[in-house]
Amino acid sequence: MSKLILTRHGQSTWNAENRFTGWVDINLSDIGKKEAKKSGELLKKINIKIDICYTSFLKRAIETLTIILESINLDLKFNAAWQLNERHYGSLTGLNKEETKQKIGDELFKKYRRSWDVAPPPMAKDSDHQSNFSPLNSGIPKNKLPFTESLKSTYERVVPFYDSEIKKNLYLGKNILISAHGNSLRALCKYLFKISDTKINELEIPTGNPLVIEFDDKLKIIKYFYLDNSRAKNIIFNQ
């Protein structure tokens, strides 16, 4: 029996400012660091042996994972993958969410944020934000670099990576920890829990609260739970 532990990074400085972040490489806020430490403390309490770790190219996820590993006194090399990056928000990147909603209207705002297959307008190729992306991005094939993404686009990079790199280790009985982002984890949960295109907009992934998914030897989900039940969000299964 193997376990997959999904952790959304702690609050970033742009989260605190209510800005669309996407691929911009932003640091954790002080609150975010405390959330990451809390995640580690929650994992330490249940004494799960972590065998393999994955994270994205973005330092807010990398720092979250680093703090978690320090909290559980585990010196473990982790694997960074661009496929686990946050969704690219295109031309919305850097904008204040509330101001954007007032400008474009509630209906379009909801489509950009929560629909399955509607992407915001693309980011300009000469945008200043391009220089604020992770330096690790230099290793991404140019034909794979997005300028905007829908959740569907994000799913189309997250799930193949899971299938090719992560699933084989779960089959071997390994316990795997992933530190990633709200939308990359939503995409993965859509796949794992068989959530429909119309229901996925209802799924919320809380920060600083690890989700533990237990599998049988055929990778059928047999149990799933958040470690902090007081801040748990509803998991939609097969809807």
What is the DSSP track for 100-169? HHHHH-HHHHHHHHH-SSPPPPPPPTT-GGGGGB-GGGGGS-GGG--S---HHHHHHHHHHHIIIIIHHH
Q: φ, ψ for residue 35 (rounded to 5)?
A: -65, -40
CA–CA distance, 25 with 35 (Å, rounded to integer): 18
- Are 195 and 189 a contacting pair, CB within 8 Å? yes
Task: Determine whether 86 is an active site residue.
Answer: yes
- Are 54 and 78 a contacting pair, CB within 8 Å? yes
The catalytic position among 9, 63, 88, 181 is 9
Task: Determine whether 9 is an active site residue.
Answer: yes
The catalytic position among 35, 86, 88, 149 is 86
Burial profile 16-30: b = 16 or more Cβ within 10 angstroms, e = fewer: eeebbbbbbbbebbe
CA–CA distance, 38 with 68 (Å, rounded to integer): 8
- Are 175 and 192 a contacting pair, CB within 8 Å? no
Instruction: Provide the 10 A C-beta neighbour count for residue 67.
Output: 22
Cross-sheet strand order for the sheet of 78-80: 78-80, 52-55, 176-180, 2-8, 211-215, 221-226
Please report which helix (H) or strand (E) contains residue 2, including its range.
strand 2-8
Catalytic residue annotation: 9, 86
